[in-house]
Amino acid sequence: MFFGEYYQTHQEVNINDQLLSDLDSPNFYEIVIGSNKGNNVIIRRKLRIAAVYAKETPGITSCTDFKKFVLTWSGDGHIQMNMMKGSIDKSVTSWTDLSPFNITGIGIRTGWGSTGTWRIEFKGQFNGYFCGKFNLYGNMTLLRTTIVINSVFCSTLCFSSGTCLGFNFNKNTNECQLIAVGQVMTTYYQPDWELYAKYLNGRSACAV
């Protein structure tokens, strides 16, 4: 599940759901919010092809207010986008791909030279697994720092915390740093460090 609040100054916004997490796949879904001068929502299976599905949605974008959109998808190819206004959850558009692919990456942009501000929230169910990368450090707000026996023990500390996104582990000093949720993932190359994050939605989504 993906939540996006968007405030824009022009017309069009694009959300790309991709097969590859590095957003370099020829297979992706493009959801265009506010095409045709702000009056349509379009779903495409690939960039720059005819609309798979288009729906008239006058006033879907705004120059003055945040609009909250909730985008969900399922393994059977069903894509659903709603717009939240207070406690009201209103369907904007939906479409089902009969030959779906697994979504592991999401890209967001404004279109045609527009500028805008996004607030993003991603929700998924943690399945107990972590993904990780060597020689990478997560430069983010920490929940706590401690010394542990190994990275497995560090993972158990993060596992039991609902506010833990992942952890940094130093293989030389055994330092364990638990990383807080609700922030931008900022990383840089750092020898001797390992960065791990929780897998969400089975093993299809990971922040690292």
Q: For residue 198, what is the domain's CATH number?
A: 3.50.4.10
**Residue 109 sits in the same domain as residue 131:** no
Domain end, chosen from 71, 90, 122, is at: 122
**Residue 7 sits in the same domain as residue 102:** yes
Q: Does position 79 have pLDDT exceeding 50, yes or no?
A: yes
**Residue 66 sits in the same domain as residue 44:** yes
**Residue 113 sits in the same domain as residue 138:** no
Cα distances (Å, whole numbers) of residue 176 to 59, 118, 170, 190, 207: 49, 32, 7, 15, 18
pLDDT at residue 32 in the model: 83
Calpha distance 105→17 (Å, rounded): 6
Work out how many domains the chain is built from and give that number. 2
Cβ atoms of 129 and 118 closer than 8 Å:
no
**Residue 89 sits in the same domain as residue 168:** no
The two tokens of residue 196 are: 């791990």
Domain end, chosen from 71, 98, 122, is at: 122
Antiparallel, parallel or unpaired: β 142-147 and 88-96: unpaired
Give the pLDDT band of residue 48 (cuts 50, 70, 90).
Answer: low
What is the span of the domain harbouring residue 56?
A: 2-122
**Residue 74 sits in the same domain as residue 152:** no
Q: Does position 64 have pLDDT exceeding 80, yes or no?
A: no
Mean pLDDT of 100-123: 72
Antiparallel, parallel or unpaired: β 126-138 and 40-44: unpaired
Mean pLDDT of 77-89: 80
192 torsion bin: left (phi>0), alpha (psi -120 to 50), beta (else): left
Beta bridge partners of 194: 134, 169
Q: Does position 49 have pLDDT exceeding 70, yes or no?
A: no
Question: Distance between alpha carbon 48 and the CA centroid of its chain, in Å?
Answer: 23
**Residue 103 sits in the same domain as residue 142:** no
CATH number, domain of 54, equals 2.60.120.560
**Residue 192 sits in the same domain as residue 95:** no
**Residue 59 sits in the same domain as residue 115:** yes
Q: Does position 22 have pLDDT exceeding 80, yes or no?
A: no
**Residue 196 sits in the same domain as residue 106:** no
pLDDT at residue 134 in the model: 94
**Residue 75 sits in the same domain as residue 158:** no
**Residue 41 sits in the same domain as residue 65:** yes
Give the pLDDT band of residue 56 (cuts 50, 70, 90).
Answer: confident
Cα distances (Å, whole numbers) of residue 87 to 38, 47, 118: 24, 34, 20
pLDDT at residue 50 in the model: 60
Domain end, chosen from 93, 122, 151, is at: 122
